[in-house]
Amino acid sequence: MNFILDIGDVLVEYQPVAFLRRLFSDEQLVEKLNNIIFKSAEWLHMDQGIYTHDEAIEMFYERDPELKPEILYTMQNVPDMFVPKAETIKLLPTIKSAGHGLYYLSNIHREIRDFLLAKHEYLKLFDGGVFSCDVNAIKPSPEIYRHLLEKYSLVPSGCIFFDDMEKNVSAAEKEGIKGVLFTTAECISYYL
């Protein structure tokens, strides 16, 4: 069996509001920055590889020029949001030693991809994977699942995909991959 794992909220924390609250104590500012940055089309376009980090920052500035310092500070600190989820990471060697293939499939932009690959050693345990920014497609579009399957010659029925978003799980199932909605690491250990 091939285990395919999402990264955000499966392997690492991805909680923009909690992250913003660590940076700023003003709740209105947190809400504004969440809307300007993390809920924006530009954030998705970075994940899709359409915009660079710097291009997106310029667009965020245009939304609210008065918040330029706060926007820049947030974007400079974004890598700090991606804290590894220890309970999931702990399962990776078990997956490998049981003889399963191990892949990642993540909506993520270039700067975060580079940060994760440089700083998160556990990613070396993976047989491979696909970052959305590299293929200009984001989950739940069918193209990204098909790209992963084709790139590694994986048979859909021999794969199980763990993601924290129902729409991404459903999209995987439409491609013939068994999908599991991730809530805790126990979702993965159940299949070991």
Please say whether the beta carbons of 159 and 178 come within 8 A. Answer: yes
Phi/psi class of residue 9: alpha, beta or left (left: φ > 0; alpha: ψ in -120 to 50)?
Answer: left
What is the residue whose two structure tokens read 């909506």? 107
Identify the bridge partners of residue 128 per DSSP, sorted by sequence position.
Answer: 103
* pTM for this prediction: 0.94
pLDDT tens digit sequence for 132-186: 999 999 999 999 999 999 999 999 999 999 999 999 999 999 999 999 999 999 9
- CA distances from residue 40 to 7, 45, 46, 122 in whole angstroms, order as listed: 20, 9, 10, 30
Here the tokens at position 29 are: 């500012």
pLDDT for 94-119, tens place per residue?
999 999 999 999 999 999 999 999 99
36-90, pLDDT tens digit by residue?
Answer: 999 999 999 999 999 999 999 999 999 999 999 999 999 999 999 999 999 999 9
For residue 30, the tally of other CB atoms under 10 A from its CB is: 21
* Rg of the chain taking only CA atoms, in angstroms: 17
Domain residue spans in the chain? 2-13+83-189, 16-80
Task: Say which residues have a Cβ less than 8 Å from residue 3's Cβ, sequence separation at least 6.
Answer: 95, 100, 101, 102, 103, 159, 160, 162, 188, 191
Amino acid type, 72: L
CATH annotation of 2-13+83-189: 3.40.50.1000
CA distance 102 to 31: 37
